[in-house]
Chains A and B, each alone.
Chain A
């Protein structure tokens, strides 16, 4: 049994944890990461990246189906599910290996096992139930992430009822699929399996799909999903899953108490996320947990000296880019408190400025306040819109379905929010995020020259439209 000593130890090697470790090592601290499974965490192994690989297969398949629209001939269309999944797994493995290389390059010790906080400054690591090491560090960053939430009547079995983990590595292509929850995770899987030919029903408890998005965008997406054959039931919940031999009978109850039953091959649970707060020594050390997540301040401090927490473990939004950003901030804060000379300009994350992306077809991306939220907050707003069907590049791409929407404060010209649905909008949202971070007004956005022909011209037009100056619509 060894006692290993470090300056900073990160518990969890996901996009929050490994980024924190790299920043820590860059600042000259002796650093270790404790990871029980794969470097890169859920994001890289079971989330963001492998789903994007699957969705790319679905997109290419979609284009193949529509080859004739482009004057192309594609015959004997089909797919090999095993190979689609294998590609996705291969990409995850490749990137996880890349993280291992980054750890090595930055001289970060990676400890393979499950870590648990014994007391501030001390962790114990075990592997297969056997204690393998004591690890000491002045500062400990908890970054154990989160997992799919299960409900008492909605539990995954990995066979008929899946979480995202099972849905990423299907052993069979379901003919009929029920997706419970229409947030980003639910909708992405619904989109993927629908594209490959499954008969997909999505049940959403709230009154619209993608409920965190702007209402107009949400309605636009709903229309598009329906045109693709997705069945969407909103304002309803699944009250019972009755497992048969190879099927599940699902009881769906709407908000008026009316029930219906549908029989499907597989069910995907996407009813939310809960933090991995168990068995890491939180209660023993008096670290506050609220509704499945650690309570931490804007700098990631838990209130216990030398113990910090970042990423999904600390609550929504459950996004890799939020976790990574917090990983850098928590380390720089620690460094600044130690008097590190390099840290001169440190600011906590502005949660109002974290973009959100969903990679269904059509894609959805947004940052800032929705139109309704802006009005509810008392803003007098100016709203601009520009449709994909009026953009040359979108038409040339054969992607004329979509909308870019901007919400400005009528008085100050502050860009309160931006909301997009359509092809490649996830690649464009950063433009508006930068605008918000720099606090530009409509004037600077109007003065910006956007390249032609690009989809991004719609971002310009949506700003112009908010002030009645749109040129091409």
Chain B
């Protein structure tokens, strides 16, 4: 009996995925545990391994196929003694979308023409066809606005012909550009952050934090062993986790007609990866020491850069941190990662002059900014929470309490 292999649901919310690459081809023998394919969801690329053994009889979906619905038949394994005729018994092949390779299209003008499906009938008026012919425009390139999308005179007259791909570089006219198809991650970032900025009422609180005590503690810790290397960011993660415990009103999420209060500090940390960013989560960070946090974040960041994060690595999280300090940014404001209610934007620690007891004193100061969802967190709560973060970071020994 041939074994049918379906598009797996790699996360609870996954509905479709991209079959990025087949790692086997028809005729290959596979064993339990053999990697069959790389499957890309909106956030990560995951390997899909076989739980059966057999010979790959047929691959029903090509490399790069997008939006393959969960449950679609993607391959069939033939068991020992079976030949290709066993494939005939496979009847429930769902139509998988055609392969759409990421391709670059050179166009020069907006609006981008919506070309009619290749080979389909193009509804157009005789006058539109004639004017198009006179202007050397391909009628199939012209979007129609007449009855039932018919291409009419007006459409051809408004249409500007795309400049040929091989056009000689010229400094006249619109700047040339390339359009590159969005990756699933880019689409997700676009959708979620647009939703955040449009629906979440952000307000921002800023504070300066002196890091000298923290830097001294870090130096001391790192000098004691080569087994670990604690970063400033590890301190920030722990400080935020503890501050969420100290000010539990800030460890919340707005849920429409309810408010969700979290007891655990699950801290999402933004990690830049090629083509976008991802926010792996340090769960229960308030219970973890600096070393454990440091090790976890290093491991997660590595997986993230390799596109190997599992959904449980990056979903959930009750609060986010985005740190651009290592890139020399002094201060910035971050966009809340919904459904979370707050995000801390950390800048770089820099030497500044501060006034202490009426005297100018040098200090290492980091500016941070907290963006809060006003539906969940009011100004005073946000200020109290930010104050707690400041206290933990300025007096790192309090993190031992």
With an 8 A cutoff between CB atoms, is A413 at the interface?
A: yes
- Asked if B153 and A439 sit within 8 Å, CB to CB, the answer is yes
Chain A 447-460, CB-CB to B under 8 Å as 1, else 0, gives: 00000000000000
Q: How far is the CA of A443 from the CA of B147 in the complex (A)?
A: 22
Stretch of B120-128, B262-270, B294-302 that contacts chain A:
B120-128
Chain B 126-154, CB-CB to A under 8 Å as 1, else 0, gives: 11101100100000000000111000110
Q: How far is the CA of A414 from the CA of B156 in the complex (A)?
A: 14
Q: How far is the CA of A347 from the CA of B152 in the complex (A)?
A: 13
* Most chain A CB inside 10 Å of its own CB: which residue of B128, B130, B152: B130
Task: List the A side residues contacting B152 at CB < 8 Å.
Answer: 439
- Asked if A347 and B147 sit within 8 Å, CB to CB, the answer is yes
Known interface pairs A345-B147, A345-B148, A414-B153. Does A443 touch B126 (Cβ–Cβ under 8 Å)?
yes
Q: How far is the CA of A412 from the CA of B127 in the complex (A)?
A: 7
Q: How far is the CA of A463 from the CA of B192 in the complex (A)?
A: 60
Task: List the B side residues contacting A344 at CB < 8 Å.
Answer: 148
Q: For chain B, which range describes its interface: under 10, 10 to 19, 20 to 34, or 35 or more residues?
A: 10 to 19
Q: Which of A412, A440, A443, A444 contacts B134 (CB 8 A)?
A: A412
- Asked if B127 and A441 sit within 8 Å, CB to CB, the answer is yes
Please name the residue on chain A nearest to B145 by beta carbon: A347
With an 8 A cutoff between CB atoms, is A72 at the interface?
A: no
User: B156: shortest Cβ distance to chain A, in Å?
Assistant: 10
With an 8 A cutoff between CB atoms, is A411 at the interface?
A: yes
User: B386: shortest Cβ distance to chain A, in Å?
Assistant: 45
Q: How far is the CA of A411 from the CA of B127 in the complex (A)?
A: 11
With an 8 A cutoff between CB atoms, is A60 at the interface?
A: no
- Asked if B127 and A413 sit within 8 Å, CB to CB, the answer is yes
Task: List the A side residues contacting B148 at CB < 8 Å.
Answer: 344-345
Chain A 424-453, CB-CB to B under 8 Å as 1, else 0, gives: 000000000000001111011000000000
- Asked if A439 and B147 sit within 8 Å, CB to CB, the answer is no
Chain A 141-174, CB-CB to B under 8 Å as 1, else 0, gives: 0000000000000000000000000000000000
Q: How far is the CA of A245 from the CA of B233 in the complex (A)?
A: 107
Q: How far is the CA of A439 from the CA of B127 in the complex (A)?
A: 5
Please name the residue on chain A nearest to B149 by beta carbon: A345
- Asked if A413 and B125 sit within 8 Å, CB to CB, the answer is no
- Asked if B130 and A440 sit within 8 Å, CB to CB, the answer is no
- Asked if B126 and A439 sit within 8 Å, CB to CB, the answer is yes
Q: Which of A345, A347, A440 contacts B126 (CB 8 A)?
A: A440
Task: List the A side residues contacting B125 at CB < 8 Å.
Answer: 438-440
Q: How far is the CA of A156 from the CA of B103 in the complex (A)?
A: 75
User: A386: shortest Cβ distance to chain B, in Å?
Assistant: 22
- Asked if A441 and B147 sit within 8 Å, CB to CB, the answer is no
Q: How far is the CA of A412 from the CA of B152 in the complex (A)?
A: 13
Q: How far is the CA of A443 from the CA of B125 in the complex (A)?
A: 12
Task: List the B side residues contacting A444 at CB < 8 Å.
Answer: 126
Q: Which of A407-422 contact B (CB under 8 A)?
A: 411-414
Q: How far is the CA of A412 from the CA of B126 in the complex (A)?
A: 10
Please name the residue on chain B nearest to A439 by beta carbon: B125
Q: How far is the CA of A221 from the CA of B396 in the complex (A)?
A: 102
Q: Which of B127, B131, B146 contacts A440 (CB 8 A)?
A: B127
User: A364: shortest Cβ distance to chain B, in Å?
Assistant: 26
Please name the residue on chain A nearest to B129 by beta carbon: A441
Q: Which of A345, A347, A412, A438 contacts B131 (CB 8 A)?
A: A412
- Asked if A441 and B126 sit within 8 Å, CB to CB, the answer is yes
- Asked if B147 and A412 sit within 8 Å, CB to CB, the answer is no
* Most chain B CB inside 10 Å of its own CB: which residue of A345, A347, A411, A439: A439
User: B36: shortest Cβ distance to chain A, in Å?
Assistant: 44
Q: How far is the CA of A252 from the CA of B130 in the complex (A)?
A: 52
Please name the residue on chain B nearest to A444 by beta carbon: B126
Q: How far is the CA of A345 from the CA of B146 in the complex (A)?
A: 9
Task: List the B side residues contacting A412 at CB < 8 Å.
Answer: 127, 130-131, 134
Task: List the B side residues contacting A438 at CB < 8 Å.
Answer: 125-126
- Could you show 19 A-B contacts with beta carbons less than 8 Å apart? A345-B147, A347-B146, A411-B134, A412-B127, A412-B131, A412-B134, A413-B130, A414-B153, A438-B126, A439-B125, A439-B126, A439-B127, A439-B153, A440-B125, A441-B126, A441-B127, A441-B130, A443-B126, A444-B126
What are the 9 tightest A-B residue pairs by CB atom distance, in nearest-first order?
A439-B125, A439-B127, A441-B126, A414-B127, A440-B126, A444-B126, A441-B127, A412-B131, A345-B147
Interface residues of B (CB under 8 A from A): 125-128, 130-131, 134, 146-148, 152-153
Q: A412-B130, A438-B125, A440-B126 are in contact. List 4 more A-B contacts (CB 8 A).
A: A345-B148, A347-B147, A439-B152, A441-B126
